[in-house]
Structure 1
Amino acid sequence: MNKNITNSVVYVGVDDKTLDLFEGQYPVPNGMAYNSYVILDEKITVMDGVDERAVDEWLDNVEKALDGKKPEYIVVQHLEPDHSAGVSSFIAKYPDVKVVANAQIFRMATQFGIEVAEDKKVTVKEGDTLDLGSHKLNFVMAPMVHWPEVMMTYESSEKILFAADAFGKFGTLDTDEDWACEARRYYFNICGKFGPQVSAVLAKADALDIEIICSLHGPILTENLEYYINLYKTWAAYDVEAEGVFVVYASMHGNTAKAAELLKEELLAQGCKKVAMHDLARDMFSEAIEDAFKYGKLVLASPTYETELMPIVSMFLHDLEHKNYQKRKVGFIQNGTWAPMSGKFMKAGFEKLSDITFCDTMVTIKSTVSDANKEEIKQLAKEILAD
């Protein structure tokens, strides 16, 4: 798919609608876009490659954009295989091309089977500039966003930020959907662990006059860039994006699920404007991670399972810890027939995290919800909603 982003920058990426799992774990019902760009100038430059699933189509797109000309450079900003798998094929097709990358990328490239002759390497570092003619590329190192070798590239004449994986989202370019939802799910599951590093790069971006953001996934952003950048700042700082309560649960025989539903009803009755709810065993797990970070208040409900937590709840807690979950208010509903213990384990999981406020009331169900439990649920709702 070729289209002009500007008169001299052409999109040559590929939409992949056959992919079911991104990184082998995140469902992508609307597929994935592998973005690549050609800058047409005195020294024609290709920005990044694509996944091996799309190499042939990408090379065809590049050839059409070149229209018989030869590329001077290919810039490799990120070595993850969904962007670098086609680089070797590109070098084979255009043997005179020079590869522009930082030292870390060149050190790691051979691990992905990418061999670059020494006289074809252009090694860049923070603040370096590459003159293409009327376009000038300025390189911004972005380590751990979300791999250690990542860099971004700012083209100053047209004020374009080639942002590597930042500002990307799940879904193909022709998918008609809200950017924020799938960008948020993408960010917290892929980059959420690295908030401080993302914040550091955003601070660098503040010094740039940006009119277009070209990510390696998702749409090219050309309008209302402040909205996207501010969302990223919120996410990177682990701040609360939206007011509301996230109720997340697992349930063996449906009784814990009923308690979660009663809590949702009570929260709405007490004036909560938004209650999001997820069944960890049935709903998309990566969406549960997304909503945990979107809202400032969370209630986790779980039965006791073999004197511990249900495995899916343990996995949820592990992921929150791994993604640096923080700055939130949390409550619990535990269930158990003879020895309810899940609350203890849930709380212990959150005690490992930073800046977590706990509700005093822990709802303890013995098998099924009792009248006393209903009163506890009312009290928990009151506490979670209190500022």
Structure 2
Amino acid sequence: MYCVKNITEDLYWIGGSDRRLALFENIYPIPNGVSYNAYVLMDEKTVLLDTVDSSISELFFENLAHVLGERNLDYLVIDHMEPDHCAAISGVVFRYPDVKLVCNTKTAAMLKQFYSFDVDSRILLVKEMDTLNTGKHTLTFVMAPMVHWPETMVTFDSVTGALFSADAFGTFGALSGNLYADEMNFEKDWLDDARRYLTNIVGKYGPQVQALLKKASALDIRMICPLHGPVWRENLGWFIDKYKAWSSYTPEDSAVMIAYGSIYGNTENAVNVLASRLADAGVKNIAMYDVSVTDSSYILSEAFRCSHLVFASSTYNGGIFTPMETLLLELKAHNLQNRTVAVIENGTWAPAAGRQMKEIISSMKNMTILSEELTIRSALKEEQLPQMEALVKAIAGSM
């Protein structure tokens, strides 16, 4: 049975959700599922904007057929060629052989890599700020390279002010009937997933996101239609400001996040003492994560949110405890910068994690590593409490 949403008089959402998928891109846990959005414009010419993942393709084609009715499909706009959005393209071509594929040159090359049908006879190539008139509507194409693939573009409808934003402004999470962000308690129930989505998927490409935001500021955007998550028609500025902060690596909150790697519990005990002393010093909303328990995508998202980070690690095989090393390398790979960092190390006979953690952190941009640090040999001792207090004072005092 079809399931569509009428967004405007002639614009329809024909997507769907997957609650069974455990890992997005086979790496990021998505306990709340994910939605795949596609849109149809029923103008003098009919336009499909992107397709969906293969997991919901049957529903997608039923939705598309219902909206089109007896009409043919004139155009398929391909904003992004990642398989969770392009998987149904060959099915569209098979069902609507006269469809024109609207895309840029980089997308055209990828079409030939993914599919075997005759691409050249079907494509309508567009470049920066080209337009396509479909009757009442005029679509403008804006290139958005590396947000987060090199071929990505976004499509702007000047009549409705709708920005079809590809993966930008998307979020993890399945839709549950409500399509619009203003129909949900987005800040409470969705913001963490939105942040985790942006920072993990696009975090490395902050400058490219900033470039797209600059282009978008010149458009009269009144609605944002992403390929994942809810559609935005109210309070767009609030969400855009979040993107500005995340993509410029500006801390969202003045807050402390503590990530620790502990083998037998002694390093964990030390950070519990630290957190308690920080609270006594007036620090609120401290976040703490065991790197062996919490997937690194959640901790990375929190690192983008918080201004101050503490990394505490046992020494393992003469190096950093493996899950902690993975986390730090993930932070570096995602271009995290502009943070104040404290380091705690533990080691029974040869503490080495601290130096190696600082080497990784120092290779990241604009990271202030506090000179106050703490080395534990097996377990925290009472005589080390002055060092702990110095560390607490340095963290709290720099906030």
Q: TM-score range by the shorter chain?
A: over 0.9
Letter matched to residue 260 of structure 2: Y
CA distance in structure 2 between the partners assigned to 1:106 and 1:67 by the alignment: 29
2:173–2:190 Cα contact (<8 Å) kept: no
Question: CA 1:119–1:111 in structure 2 vs 1: closer, same or farther (change >3 Å)?
Answer: closer
Offset of 1:357 from its aligned partner?
Answer: 0.9
Per the alignment, residue 217 of structure 1 pairs with: 228
Larger deviation: 162-171 or 377-386? Answer: 377-386
Does residue 233 of structure 1 match 2:235?
no
Aligned length: 387
Question: Could you report, residue by residue, the CA deviation over 1:77-134 in whole angstroms, capped at 9, with x for unpaired residues?
Answer: 1000000000000110011111100011001112212534433211000010000100
1:166–1:215 Cα contact (<8 Å) kept: yes
Offset of 1:71 from its aligned partner?
Answer: 1.2
Per the alignment, residue 22 of structure 1 pairs with: 24
- Equivalent residues in 2 for 1:1-387, closer than 5 Å: 1-113=3-115, 115-174=117-176, 178-387=189-398
Q: Name the SS of the counterpart of 2:224 in structure 1.
A: strand
Offset of 1:57 from its aligned partner?
Answer: 1.0
Q: Name the SS of the counterpart of 2:71 in structure 1.
A: coil
Question: CA 1:371–1:223 in structure 2 vs 1: closer, same or farther (change >3 Å)?
Answer: same
Q: In structure 2, list runs of 5 or more residues that go unmatched.
A: 178-183
Offset of 1:320 from its aligned partner?
Answer: 1.0
Q: Name the SS of the counterpart of 1:181 in structure 2.
A: helix
CA distance in structure 2 between the partners assigned to 1:115 and 1:13 by the alignment: 24
CA distance in structure 2 between the partners assigned to 1:196 and 1:308 by the alignment: 33
Q: Name the SS of the counterpart of 2:203 in structure 1.
A: helix
Letter matched to residue 326 of structure 2: M
CA distance in structure 1 between the partners assigned to 2:118 and 2:111 by the alignment: 8
CA distance in structure 2 between the partners assigned to 1:208 and 1:339 by the alignment: 58
Which consecutive aligned stretches of 4+ in structure 1 deviate over 6 angstroms post-superposition?
Answer: none
Question: Could you report, residue by residue, the CA deviation over 1:205-248 in whole angstroms, capped at 9, with x for unpaired residues?
Answer: 00011111000000001110000111101111111111110100
Per the alignment, residue 180 of structure 2 pairs with: none
Question: CA 1:218–1:195 in structure 2 vs 1: closer, same or farther (change >3 Å)?
Answer: same
Q: Name the SS of the counterpart of 2:369 in structure 1.
A: strand
Larger deviation: 371-380 or 129-138? Answer: 371-380
Offset of 1:179 from its aligned partner?
Answer: 2.7
Offset of 1:375 from its aligned partner?
Answer: 2.7
Question: CA 1:125–1:114 in structure 2 vs 1: closer, same or farther (change >3 Å)?
Answer: farther
Q: Name the SS of the counterpart of 2:339 in structure 1.
A: strand
Larger deviation: 174-183 or 70-79? Answer: 174-183
Q: In structure 1, list runs of 5 or more residues that go unmatched.
A: none
CA distance in structure 1 between the partners assigned to 2:190 and 2:118 by the alignment: 37
Question: Could you report, residue by residue, the CA deviation over 1:164-199 in whole angstroms, capped at 9, with x for unpaired residues?
Answer: 000000011128663321110001100000000010
Offset of 1:273 from its aligned partner?
Answer: 1.7
CA distance in structure 1 between the partners assigned to 2:24 and 2:116 by the alignment: 22
1:87–1:114 Cα contact (<8 Å) kept: no
How does the TM-score come out when normalised to structure 1?
A: 0.98
Question: Could you report, residue by residue, the CA deviation over 1:30-70 in whole angstroms, capped at 9, with x for unpaired residues?
Answer: 11101000011000100000111111110111111112211
Question: CA 1:5–1:251 in structure 2 vs 1: closer, same or farther (change >3 Å)?
Answer: same
Q: Indicate the percent of aligned positions where both proteins have the same amino acid.
A: 42
How does the TM-score come out when normalised to structure 2?
A: 0.95
1:52–1:85 Cα contact (<8 Å) kept: yes
Question: CA 1:306–1:119 in structure 2 vs 1: closer, same or farther (change >3 Å)?
Answer: closer
CA distance in structure 2 between the partners assigned to 1:117 and 1:371 by the alignment: 71
CA distance in structure 2 between the partners assigned to 1:117 and 1:231 by the alignment: 38
Offset of 1:137 from its aligned partner?
Answer: 0.4
CA distance in structure 2 between the partners assigned to 1:327 and 1:30 by the alignment: 30
Question: CA 1:116–1:385 in structure 2 vs 1: closer, same or farther (change >3 Å)?
Answer: farther
CA distance in structure 2 between the partners assigned to 1:373 and 1:287 by the alignment: 31
2:255–2:307 Cα contact (<8 Å) kept: yes
Q: Name the SS of the counterpart of 1:355 in structure 2.
A: coil
